[in-house]
Amino acid sequence: MCYNSRMEPESLFARPVAELVGRRYSCRSFDGRGLEAETLAGLERFAAGLALPFGSHLRFGIIDNLRVRAQNLFSAGSYGMIKGARFYLVALVRREDPRRWEDAGFALEAAVLQATCLDVASCWIGGVFDRKRFGWALGIRPGEQLPAVVALGRPALRPSLRDRLVRWSARGDRRRDAGTLFFAGDWRLPLRLEASAPWGRVLECVRLGPSASNKQPWRLIRLGGAFHFYLDRDRTYSAMMPLADLQRIDMGIAMCHFQYSAAEMGLQGEWAVVEPSIPQTPSHFEYIASFMTE
């Protein structure tokens, strides 16, 4: 089954994707002043206009923390690790869409890259926030879920001590070696990026992607003209976060980085669900999708 044969144009971002991936970071200390209305509206339109890999029905909105606090919808401590954030980009998904988590991750991360292009700082919030009250602020409808939000704003001149401690504890500047994430035809054979031109640059953009608790759960294996995406599921972590499948959201983030960096380089393909038969696939690996290049 194929999805999203309509790929986004190469010029989706005004700056190179690899540059945006490298510049993006999880900002937890904002200056508190907020952003221009046209910038916020533009980011919302940007997310809503994307062609999603699985065609899920997503609804986006901007929440103004000052307004909702005035209405007593949630307290300033709803997400204590973020300081000075006024605006949040929110995605709502429909329960009936089976691939809603991946599409939400894809769309919100694309918006994060666009925000980075506009010199707007951001931070993913997926685990610890009041989904019920955020949903109320956006007028959540029956059958909708709120998987994650993204804090937006200008960074504070100096990160708070808490920000630095959280970043250190989460190992926010560290990423797994490529050889533990990407494989060539066999799970025992690491894929060497330097020998995988032109796809090495694409895979490096995937490697540098953000993920919940920096777990980097994506595993890619190349077979012929296809890259197959698997989720290395941490079941204990999933049980701790029952309100949204954060690790499938992470897979959407990886797919976002893969698709847009590939398109920018003129590497064509489309998403499909055609699970291959790969010997010795670990039992806890979950097949997600394939990027077919032929």
Identify the pLDDT of residue 5: 46
Domain match, 149 and 14 both: yes
Domain boundary among 138, 169, 200: 169
What 3-state DSSP class applies to 286? strand
Identify the pLDDT of residue 78: 42
Domain boundary among 136, 169, 202: 169
Domain match, 260 and 116 both: no
Nearest to 264 by CA among 11, 2, 20, 53: 11
Number of domains in the chain: 2
Domain match, 119 and 200 both: no
* Domain range enclosing 24: 2-169
Domain match, 221 and 117 both: no
The pLDDT tens digits for 115-132 are 999 999 999 998 778 788
Segment among 45-59, 63-77, 134-148, 225-239 with least mean pLDDT? 63-77
End-to-end Cα distance, the chain: 15
Q: Residue 239: which CATH number?
A: 3.40.109.30
DSSP 86: -
Instruction: Compute the average pLDDT of residues 190-208.
Output: 94
Domain match, 99 and 7 both: yes
Domain match, 134 and 10 both: yes
> CA 213: distance to chain centroid?
13
Instruction: Compute the average pLDDT of residues 275-282.
Output: 95
Contacts (Cβ under 8 Å, ≥6 apart) of 1? 272, 273, 274
Q: Residue 113: which CATH number?
A: 3.40.109.10
Domain match, 120 and 55 both: yes
The pLDDT tens digits for 240-252 are 778 899 999 999 9
Domain boundary among 142, 169, 196: 169
Domain match, 278 and 214 both: yes
Specify the amino acid at residue 292. M
Domain match, 188 and 154 both: no
Domain match, 37 and 150 both: yes
